[in-house]
Amino acid sequence: MDRFDKKIVVGMSGGVDSAVSAYILKQKGYDVVGVFMRNWEETDDEGICTADEDYKYVRNVCDQIGIPYYTVNFSKEYWNRVFEYFLEELRLGRTPNPDVMCNKEIKFKAFLEFALKLDASYLATGHYARIGDDGDKKLLLRGVDDNKDQTYFLYNLGQNELAKTMFPIGDLPKSEVRKIAAEAKLASAKRKDSTGICFIGERDFNKFISNYLPAQSGNILDIKTGKKVGEHSGLMYYTIGQRKGLGIGGNSTKSEPWFVAKKDIEKNILYAVQGEDDVLYSTSCDVSNLSFVAGQAPTEVFDCTVRLRHRQKDRGCTVHVEDGKAHVDFHDRQRAVTPGQSAVFYIGEVCLGGGVVEKAE
């Protein structure tokens, strides 16, 4: 019962969110241990090892808070379970979400196991998400700060994980987190929010993946006419709905921008369309690798909302679950539904779970 008996491992990234998470738990009287994960050994484009920089902040913050800290290295696991998957999806011409996989395989699997081995009662992270109760079931709830909600990345968590997890800042708006950090004078209080692939950081995406995958240039065809309108430098550099990077200039007919409409990985052809055309929109999609927070789908058929890309607004849909897969009918057509991205289901504040888009129609 005594909080002092409860040991909690906090995953520290070097940013404000995890720092404040640790700070809050410490304030509440828990036995807090900060652990920094080192999962990517390479330096960034400028030759800077971002992990070193991050760890410096972790050390400073932990000293300020007065908690012990450790570092653990899951580079091998990250490479094998996340990065290999990431590359394979790109080879297939899909658009993977490595951070979804990172949460599933690293943070809430390898890292969680590590924390429990340290005799921790819980693993805490700085995610903007909440854990609720529904009788004997745990619920994954959106963070109260709608703008920062990160449940999209966490839908693979199940009952076992949630029972051992805490999200200390999930019920706070970002502004409040910043304020707490500032008042506690935490070293990372004013650090810019990190973006980019978790653990890898902000990169020139094309340049980055060109280090791992061979690029094969080819033609860009107008999906409407089949005529060549440009050249691409490699299909993996493009995602459905993308505008930037096509390099297709004006012509005499229209003055609208071009968007990626489709990829033909067999023929190495990128199809583009000019303007917000119907071909960019889908009315349904197939989803595989389903994972439900409750352990199973609510029913075989259910209505909910679905988010198809991070920070995209979720929209109404009807889900048919069968043989571990789902067919999702959108109530309104959706733009740029992309294979490899996750479809995450919600009912109000509750994140039900989700899966990976296989095909959009």
Partner RNA sequence: UGGGGUGUCGCCAAGCGGUAAGGCACUGGACUUUGACUCCAGCAUUCGAAGGUUCGAAUCCUUCCACCCCAG
Active site residues: 102, 198
Q: Which of residues 185-214 bind RNA (CB under 7 A)?
A: 193-198, 202-203, 205
Q: State the nearest-atom distance from the C-beta of 94 to RNA, in Å.
A: 6
The C-alpha atoms of residue 315 and residue 331 are separated, in whole angstroms, by 8
Helices vs strands, H then E, count in the chain: 9, 17
In 3D space, the residue among 205, 83, 101, 80 whose CA is nearest the CA of residue 152 turns out to be 101
Count of residues of this chain found to bind RNA when the rule CB under 7 A is applied: 57
In 3D space, the residue among 273, 310, 303, 267 whose CA is nearest the CA of residue 152 turns out to be 310
Q: Are 203 and 196 in contact (CB under 8 A)?
A: yes
Q: State the nearest-atom distance from the C-beta of 245 to RNA, in Å.
A: 4
Between residues 218 and 245, which has the closer beta carbon with respect to RNA? 245
Q: Which of residues 319-358 bind RNA (CB under 7 A)?
A: 335-336, 340-341
Q: Quick check: 218 binds RNA (CB under 7 A)?
A: no
SS3 call for 177? helix
Q: State the nearest-atom distance from the C-beta of 185 to RNA, in Å.
A: 22
Q: Quick check: 298 binds RNA (CB under 7 A)?
A: no
The C-alpha atoms of residue 143 and residue 150 are separated, in whole angstroms, by 7
Instruction: Name the one range near RNA by CB under 7 A: 60-68, 165-173, 232-240, 346-354.
Output: 232-240
The C-alpha atoms of residue 47 and residue 114 are separated, in whole angstroms, by 30
Q: State the nearest-atom distance from the C-beta of 136 to RNA, in Å.
A: 27
CA 76 to chain centroid, in Å, comes to 20
Q: Which of 23, 155, 259, 330 binds RNA (CB under 7 A)?
A: 259
Tokens found for residue 275? 């303007």
Between residues 23 and 258, which has the closer beta carbon with respect to RNA? 258
CA atoms within 13 A on the CB side of 30: 22
Instruction: Give the residue carrying structure tokens 């197939």.
Output: 286
What DSSP character marks residue 245?
T
Instruction: Name the one range near RNA by CB under 7 A: 68-76, 110-118, 159-167, 239-247.
Output: 239-247
Q: Quick check: 158 binds RNA (CB under 7 A)?
A: no
CA angle 93, 94, 100 (to 5 degrees): 150
Q: State the nearest-atom distance from the C-beta of 118 to RNA, in Å.
A: 21
Q: Given the DSSP bridges, would you call strands 281-292 and 350-360 parallel, antiparallel or unpaired? A: antiparallel
Q: Which of 47, 66, 250, 348 binds RNA (CB under 7 A)?
A: 250
Between residues 34 and 96, which has the closer beta carbon with respect to RNA? 96
Cα dihedral across residues 15, 17, 18, 24: positive or negative = positive
Q: Quick check: 312 binds RNA (CB under 7 A)?
A: yes
SS3 call for 146? coil
Q: Quick check: 50 binds RNA (CB under 7 A)?
A: no
Q: Which of 36, 78, 167, 238 binds RNA (CB under 7 A)?
A: 238
Q: Quick check: 3 binds RNA (CB under 7 A)?
A: no
Instruction: Name the one range near RNA by CB under 7 A: 142-150, 164-172, 214-222, 284-292.
Output: 142-150
- Beta pairing partners, 54: none
Q: Which of 90, 123, 166, 184 binds RNA (CB under 7 A)?
A: 90
Q: State the nearest-atom distance from the C-beta of 205 to RNA, in Å.
A: 4
Instruction: Name the one range near RNA by CB under 7 A: 65-73, 115-123, 238-246, 293-301.
Output: 238-246
Q: Quick check: 105 binds RNA (CB under 7 A)?
A: no
The C-alpha atoms of residue 16 and residue 190 are separated, in whole angstroms, by 8
Q: Are 346 and 307 in contact (CB under 8 A)?
A: yes
Q: State the nearest-atom distance from the C-beta of 239 to RNA, in Å.
A: 4
The C-alpha atoms of residue 268 and residue 245 are separated, in whole angstroms, by 17
The C-alpha atoms of residue 270 and residue 144 are separated, in whole angstroms, by 40
Query: Which residues make up the interface to RNA (CB under 7 A)?
Result: 13, 89-90, 94-99, 103, 107, 125, 127-128, 147-148, 150, 152-153, 193-198, 202-203, 205, 236-239, 241-252, 255-259, 309-312, 335-336, 340-341
